[in-house]
Each structure stands twice: as C-alpha cells, then as structure tokens.
Chains A and B, each alone.
Chain A
C-alpha cells in the first residue's frame, strides 16, 4: 500500500512538472530604431517592454535588438528574432514596414506588430498613436507662455506623423493667439544630439522663446535650459534634463497596449488590426504641467480633458492651408485617412515644407 501511494504521488508530481513544461513562456521580441538610452522614443518602447514583463511575470520572456538600421538589415534582424522562437514581435519604427511584411510571410505562426505604418496582414497588426493630440495642448500652452509669439519646432523627417504634430501645435496656439508663428528646423535624423542641439541654438538665436521637438534626444531640452527659455519634452518625461525648463511632455504610454497584445497571444485571441489610439485610450499621456502659472495649467488641463473625451478634435475647421486655400470648413473635422497622409502646413507655419 505504502509503495502504491509512493508510486502514485511520484506519478502525480511528474504529471505536474510535465504540465509546467507544457505551458511554455511566450517569447516576445522588439526591434528598436535607437538605443534604449535615448530617453525619448526607444526609451519609451523599452519602458513598455519592461511594464509587460512586470505585469505578465513568468508568462513572458522578452528580447530586443537596438539601433537596427532601416533597410536590408531590418529584415535580417526581424527574422533572427522570429527564428529565436519569439511568437510576438514588435517592430517599432515606420521604416521597418516592408521588412516586417516580408518576414511575416515566411513565419505565418508568429504575430507581428508594426508601429506607425499602414500595411497589415493576417499576422501583422499596425498600431499608431495620435501624438498630435498632445501637440495641440502644447500649442495652447506655448501661445500663453511665449512673450514674442513665436515658437521653434525641431522636426526629424517631414513624414505625416511629424507634419500632423506641427499643424496641431499651430492650431492649438492659434486658438489662444491667432497671430502665433512657428519656425521649423529639420534635423533629418531621429536621434542626433549634436544636430538637435545646433537646431535648438539656431532657433533661440532667431528669437523664439519656446522650443518643442519631434526628435528623440534630450539635447534641445538641455539647450533650452542653458538659454533660460521654456521647452516641451518628447516621447518621455524629460523633466530631469530641464527641471526649470520643461512645461510638459508628450509621454508615449505603450505599456498597456503591449500587455494587452501579449495577453491576447497567450489566450489565443490575437487578431490583426490597425489602431490609431490617443488620449482617450491613455496611449498619449501628458507629463505633469510644470513651470507655468496656475491659469495656464488650468487651461491646459481643460484642453486635455476635452480632447480625451472627444469633445475637442484638434483638426476642426475653419482651417486654412499655408497657401491660403481652405482645408476644413467651419465645424468640419479631418478624417483619419487625411490625417495619416498629411503633407501640407496650415496657415501660420513659418517654413516651407520640404517636398
């Protein structure tokens, strides 16, 4: 009897360990365009990855490849992650789009998630963020805070995502001060602290007293701090780099999305989609409003609340294009397709859009 019990308990313990082995961890891979230490775009994606690890604990195991160039290398890096057993792969830059699609065709059992693109497949989902909603709030603050009525804007590349931001910023500012102007300098890079700092200096020398950026390093914030003017952070909360300089920052809150999608793969409910989330879904979060008077802070909070609830859409008419032609009639709002392929400035932007 004793022996039988022993045999049974042993069998049971084997069964349990066997089951534990069968329930394998979900391996999740990430491809980053920059280093996680950029304290901007890639840093936030990496924060999202860490949040996912924290939330799902033993159920996931993550790997990432950083500073992967867009082009022929991207395809190899993505394939390497797929071959290393990752069943869910996030490719976190627009330029990885075609490479993601190509690798996805070879690995039908792996789910891919591409950030900020537009091509989907059965196993490729696209996720995008309405960063421009945050830019609108920044524009409102800038127009309130600026004494000269001109803000400097450091752009990376003139792709729709960046143009959306400039226009939304402009419209937010004009809602407070119709004569507000924005000067733009293109860094032609996502991450180049030297160039970004030079651009910031050039803008300050041209007389702007507020700087905002759509590049990923903290260099512009640091230049603004040196020159004692105000600035907005980008992608992450950059308050450490300008404690008396940062007004607020658009924080890309990827964590909840990453957790949700990893869970969906584990539960077997993952489906492809093309989502465009913003403040409402808590993907666009504003860093605390700092270094501004209470009335400006209040206005910013109200604007944010209205956008989050859907009461205020940044691209609502009447809006004129830079060349004076009408874009949106009074009360008309831009549809997502127009927003996602935006390649013109609205009136008031003091720059010629590189075409």
Chain B
C-alpha cells in the first residue's frame, strides 16, 4: 500500500483560517501526552511553555530579540521562495552582513558619531547582498543548482568569520581569544526601551521590512512578476518577464535582509564580532518562512511563535527540569502539526492499495 498526496481542486477558506487553531489544539494534546509520559504535570509544562515567557516584561524583550533576525531573514526568503529561487544560504549572507557591518567599529574605532550606525547597517545589507549575488550569478549564467551553491557558501562564510576574528580583527587586549574589540557606543544598535530589557531596534527593522515586502508583493507589478514567474516560468516569459533578472532581484533582496539581520544581531544583541554570532538563524528562518505561508505578515507572527517555543523550552527546563532534548522534541511537534495542517488544506491523503491500482489501470 502506498500513501499519496492528491491536490484538492479547491481549498476550503474556512479550514485555511481554522488550521492554525487545529494545529494548536493537536499540539496541546500531543504535548500533554509527552509531558505525562516524562512524569511531569502536563498543565504546568504547557503553562511554562506558552504562558510563562509572556508573564514578564524582560521575557517579552527576549522574545523580540530572538524573533527579530528570524523575521528579517524569513521575509527576504519569502521573495526567493515565491519566485522559485531556493536560497538556502541565508546563514552565510547573515554572517557576511555581520562582518561587513563591523568594518567601522573594528577597523576605525575612533570614527564615531550618529552617522556611524546607519553606515554600518547599509554596509551590512551590502555585505549580505554581495554574498547572495554569487549563487544568483552562477544560476543565471551557468544554470547551477542554487540550493547547492548557496548552502556551500555558508561554510565558506563561517570559516571566513572564524579566520578574521581569530586573525586580523582579534582584540589585541583579549588574551588572544577569538573576539574583536567591544563596539563603541555609537556603533551599538540602541534598545527600544532600555529601562525594562534589551530588545533593540532590530525588531522594528524587521517589522518595517515585512510591511515593505508585503506591499511590494501584493500591490506592485514587481510582486506580480515574482508570483507569475514562480508559478510558471513559461507563462512569465510570454508576459515578457525576465527570469534571470528576477533571480538576481530575489537573491539581492533576501541577501540584503539577511545581512541586515546579521549586523543588527552583532551590533544590537552581541556588541562585538565573534566566532559565534548566530545559532543557525539562517536555517531556522526557512521554517519561519513556510510557517508564515510565505506571506510577510504571516512571517512576523510565525517568527514570534517560533521564538516563543525557544523561550518556552528554556523556561520549562528551569522550572520543571525537563531536558533540553525533550524541549526540542516538543518544538518539533509544534512545527509538525502546523505544517501538516497547512498541507492538508491543499492536499488530501489517498491510500493506494495494489487492488485499487490495478482497478484504475483496467478502467
């Protein structure tokens, strides 16, 4: 017997709207079973997952800190994925953005003033953009598979960061540890509301980026072009749209936003360049992009939900003593139900037995 997904001719608007709630409901049930099996009280476990992180202001700040890079990157990726360009290398573009944006505070620490930060952010975007141009160029010029090239460039970026922090940019007063100097105050992305926590302007940038990209996708010709070429390259060509130009455009947008996420993270959350500036945001953002159904506004919500699941997992480790592995499993369960519910809106499951197969052939 085989299981097939068959596309539904029409999808239900009601279930499209209900799907996140169905997913949440199923997650709660599965979570309750999981935590009971671990010998923990399911109610308090679910409470520390979903409610506890929202009961304190500092925790809200941490939520925004965690969500900001995910949203920024995922918004850019939505442009790529909608236009059928599979940029898997946002992690590398983030790192390159972080490095390019750090040029001023690390190499010219005496250059200070209000204009430093805007230049840093622009350099960060330029760094990510430049790095994303490579897979775009290879795809357009040589028809290379961009999934492979963009992914492999991530490792190149990681090693480049490792080298530059360990070598030329190492803090001379830092006992030879792999870190640059701490950024001076004019190179630090300020906090939104410093009295209560450390959420920085990166989150505001993420929301602005989401609004701009949403406007472009839904209200401009450019957005129309992206969707047409993404769904049918042939139809796009008849309409006079250039697939090559669009590939560059999509990679440049997502590279710029990943680079912006990189410099915002380095300047806002870390305060210096070091070998570990991201715990894999570039990859997690791929999940966020699909969780938000490739809609920039949905992505803002999805980024917050995923960030909450990280914070909740950590809260549950502290308050209940569940292991980090169980916390991750539960995070996986959430994603599974959300994506499965979404899939089932557009597809139905068909069980194909040998009998029905031969019957179909006979007919």
Contact = CB atoms under 8 A, between A and B. Distances in A.
A80 B166 contact: no
Contacts of A67: 324
B323 A159 contact: no
The 5 A-B pairs with the shortest beta carbon distances in the complex, nearest first, are A72-B269, A69-B279, A343-B176, A341-B175, A70-B276
Interface of B: 56, 58, 62, 65-66, 159, 162-163, 166-167, 175-178, 182, 198, 265, 269-272, 274-279, 311, 314-315, 317-319, 321, 323-325
Given A65-B324, A76-B65, A83-B58, A355 B166 contact: yes
Contact of A72 (B163, B177, B265, B317): B265
Contact of A158 (B166, B265, B276, B314): B166
A157 B319 contact: no
Contact of A188 (B162, B176, B177): B162
Contacts of A73: 66, 279
A130 to B, nearest CB: 16
21 contacts: A35-B325, A63-B321, A65-B324, A66-B317, A69-B276, A71-B269, A71-B274, A72-B66, A72-B265, A73-B279, A75-B198, A76-B66, A77-B314, A79-B58, A80-B318, A84-B319, A94-B177, A118-B175, A159-B176, A340-B175, A343-B176
B13 to A, nearest CB: 39
A257 B93 CA distance: 43
A317 interface: no
Nearest to A118: B175
B176 A157 contact: no
A176 B277 CA distance: 43
Interface of A: 35, 63, 65-67, 69-73, 75-77, 79-81, 83-84, 94-95, 98, 118, 157-160, 188, 340-343, 354-355
Nearest to B278: A71
A354 B58 contact: no
Nearest to A84: B318
Nearest to B328: A67
Contacts of A98: 182, 271-272
A71 B271 CA distance: 10
Contact of A159 (B159, B177, B311, B321): B177
B272 A80 contact: no
Contacts of B279: 69, 71, 73
Contacts of B166: 158, 354-355
B324 A66 contact: yes
B324 A76 contact: no
A95 B275 CA distance: 9
Contacts of A66: 317, 323-324
A340 B176 CA distance: 9
A65 B274 CA distance: 22
A95 B277 CA distance: 11
B176 A71 contact: no
B265 A341 contact: no
A71 B238 CA distance: 49
Contacts of A340: 175
Nearest to B168: A355
A149 to B, nearest CB: 30
A118 B179 CA distance: 13
Given A35-B325, A84-B319, 4 more contacts: A71-B279, A73-B66, A95-B274, A188-B159
